[in-house]
A = this chain, B = another copy of it.
Amino acid sequence: MVPSATETCQIQAMNERSQWVLNAPEPPTLWHELVRLLRKSILPDPTNPPSKLVLSFVKGMFPILHWPQSYKAMKFKKDLMADLTLASLCIPQSIGYATLAKLDPQYGLYTSLVPPVIYTVMGTSREIAIGPVAVVSLLLSSMAQKLEDLASDPIAYRKLVLTITFFAGLFQATFGLLRMGFLVDFLSDGAVVGFMGGAAIVIGLQQLKELLGITYFSNKMDVVSVMKATCRSLQHPWNPHNFMIGCSFLSFILIARYLGKRNKKLFWVAAIAPLISVILSTLIVFLMRADKHGAKIVKHIQGGLNPSSLHQLNFSTPYLGEVAKIGVIVAIVSLTEAIAVGRSFANLRGYHLNGNKEMFALGFMNIVGSFTSCYVATGSFSRTAVNFTAGCETAMSNIVMAMTVLLSLELLTRLLYYTPTAILASIILSALPGLINVNEAYKIWKADKLDFLACIGAFIGVMFASVEIGLLVAVAVSFAKVLLISIQPGIETLGRLPGTDIFWDVNQYPMALKTPGVLIIRLKSGLLCYANANFIGERIMKLVTEGDDEDNKRTTYLVLDMSSLMNIDTSGIASLEELQQNLAAKGIELAIASPRWQVIHNLRLTNFVGQLGGKVFVSVAEAMEACLGAQMAATSP
């Protein structure tokens, strides 16, 4: 059969296009791309003049400099109102979380004073409420206690916590400067939900100590140890005063919360309930002298502003490496919480949060905090929600809140002498349900079983092993999932969608038509590498062998659609060579369609293209045309 003029023309055009594939310019290597990406994200845009650059850098570092143009008296009034609500929640929570971190109560107040002010000057989120949070306090105390025994040397323990705070801040600021915002993305949704839920339960169980007035308690934090310690204590006589005070005020706070949720206008009832509880319970204890009858009280809280703690930072410990490691973990967990909180509220208001600037701001704030007797501060979910509902407009509310904390540090600490510790436990307990997000967990279960596995793994790890193991499980499962999907040795058979030149998975489109004698296979993995190349080669050969039995026409061509393949390594090319030989032994010709830049480059380098006899095409359709043309030429005389 002599081809007509138009056919010849078509064939020529097709050959030319095959040449396009083969003569593509050299692609940038992964190495170069990484370097370029790093340079682009770290160095500033070089087109701006230097003077403007400095100004924009400074303005970028301190978003507060943008405010004078837009900040109005009206906004301030709104912020003030939001703040007073916020402060009434913040003061009791700060004291409670300080006890969770095994520090004296005033350290919680210190942490609600300096960091919020610094964040206001540098941060980009408008709603976030900065201060101590439950999960970070727990993480800190659980890890620091392994290095320094709290009971034997509380001063060394405090020094350790401050040093960890310094390191955490340093790492956060460094992540921000190096634009490593993606680090906080490395905990998947499922992992965060599971971790928070597990931590909430562990924190809740820790509160049993105060709520039951138990003196001897387990130092370990997992569920089994705590339950054992509690059971052991209950066999001894225990004091019901603490329990009664704690439970009655816990009910009060929860009812107030419920009211606030039912009626959005009453949100302030929920917000000030903790402060009211503190005042009422203090009064009750004071008037009834319940402390004489066994009710535990806070006792002395050091008044006055944050003292300097520069001399308390201890860089000459033998386990400085351990301290830095804890610093990294605390840094990442608190960043994850802060940015998750910030992002969700920024989305509600419809503006975008700059992850890198946030990280730098939070880091700088914690470094300064470590110089002024603060422990690790971050964005609190419960307080941010109150702040948002109260209608704050700018991060200014953080400053007003800090002022209130300042006033109470100066004036009110003496009034807190008779505050029962059980009330702090009930305030912490009342904040926990917000951390256990069953709905989200159910959503994750519906959407992605493997993500749910990360969630459950983190949850169980935190509850039954330790906070760090829970985190580790979460990160490992998240990564394992990514790896599994990336290198799954999957292949799919393609068919032509009727009426088009599109070839797609026949399982996805049942109407797709297979061409007899030609097998079109697409790889499901983005990478043909040492980890999956052999497996994929074997699966393709199996499919070819099975395909022979299925339809009567013998397979003579195999088109390999490489469109989804991002990269191929030496093992991958070796397995392709093996595949080509195995196919040739069965009399099947191999053609390659739509290779990407890096892939065709590697195939050309190793001369696999030469082995194929140049059967490389821009698309599956062109490969099919070439195959069928060759088949027709072979069958016709």
For the complex, what is the distance from the CA of A451 to the CA of B602, rounded to whole Å?
Answer: 14
- Interface 1/0s, chain A 435-459, versus B by CB < 8 A? 0000000011011111100000000
Interface check A147, CB cutoff 8 A: no
Q: Decide if A149 is an interface residue (CB 8 Å cutoff).
A: no
Is the CB of A482 closer than 8 A to any CB of chain B?
yes
Contact B535 A570 (CB under 8 A): no
Residue A322 at the B interface, CB < 8 A? no
Q: Which residues of B contact A489 (CB under 8 A)?
A: 182
Any chain B CB within 8 A of the CB of A220?
no
> Smallest CB–CB gap between A563 and chain B, Å?
6
Indicate whether A33 reaches chain B with its CB closer than 8 angstroms.
yes
Binary CB contact string for chain A from 480 to 521 against chain B (1 if under 8 A, 0 otherwise): 001111111110000001011110110111110000000000
Q: Which of A443, A447, A497 lies at the interface centre, i.e. has the most chain B CB atoms within 10 A of its CB? A: A447
Contact B484 A486 (CB under 8 A): no
Q: Which residue of B lies closest to A581 (CB)?
A: B350
One of A185-193, A208-216, A275-283, A378-386 contacting the partner:
A185-193
Chain B residues contacting A600 (CB-CB under 8 Å) are 508
Within the complex, what minimum Cβ distance (angstroms) separates A23 from chain B? 10
Interface string of A254-272 (1 = CB under 8 A from B): 0000000000000000000
A447: nearest chain-B partner, CB-CB: B570
Q: Which chain B positions have C-beta within 8 A of A24? A: 508-509
A485 touches B567 (CB 8 A): yes
Q: Which residues of B contact A502 (CB under 8 A)?
A: 594, 618-619
* Closest chain B residue, CB of each to CB of A524: B566
| CB-based contact A33/B526 at 8 Å | no
Q: Which residues of B contact A185 (CB under 8 A)?
A: 530-535, 571
Contacts of A569 in B (CB 8 A): 188-189, 447-448, 451
Distance between A630 CB and nearest chain B CB, rounded to angstroms: 20
Asked if A432 CB lies within 8 Å of chain B CBs, one says: no
Question: Known interface pairs A530-B187, A564-B563. Does A483 touch B483 (Cβ–Cβ under 8 Å)?
Answer: yes
Q: Is A27 an interface residue (CB 8 A)?
A: yes
Judge whether A530 and B570 touch: CB under 8 Å: no
Contacting residues, chain B, for A20 (C-beta < 8 A): 497, 509, 511
For the complex, is A30 an interface residue (Cβ under 8 Å from B)?
yes
Q: Which B residues touch A501, using CB under 8 A? A: 501
A425-477 contacts to B, CB under 8 A, are: 443-444, 446-451
- 18 additional A-B pairs beyond A20-B511, A27-B508, A507-B597, beta carbons within 8 Å, are A20-B509, A30-B450, A33-B490, A185-B530, A185-B535, A187-B530, A188-B529, A347-B578, A447-B569, A482-B529, A483-B486, A486-B486, A486-B527, A497-B618, A502-B594, A504-B618, A526-B526, A564-B564
Which A residues fall within an 8 A CB radius of B?
13, 17, 20, 24-25, 27, 29-31, 33-34, 181-182, 185-189, 347, 350, 352, 355, 443-444, 446-451, 478-479, 482-490, 497, 499-502, 504-505, 507-511, 524-527, 529-535, 563-564, 566-567, 569-571, 578, 581-582, 594, 596-597, 600, 602, 605-606, 618-619
4 smallest beta-carbon distances between A and B, as pairs: A526-B526, A486-B486, A508-B597, A188-B530
A-B contact pairs, 29 of them (CB 8 A): A25-B508, A27-B507, A29-B449, A30-B450, A33-B488, A33-B490, A34-B484, A181-B534, A182-B531, A185-B534, A186-B531, A187-B530, A188-B531, A189-B570, A350-B581, A355-B534, A444-B570, A447-B602, A448-B569, A451-B569, A482-B527, A485-B567, A488-B566, A502-B618, A502-B619, A505-B597, A524-B566, A525-B526, A564-B566
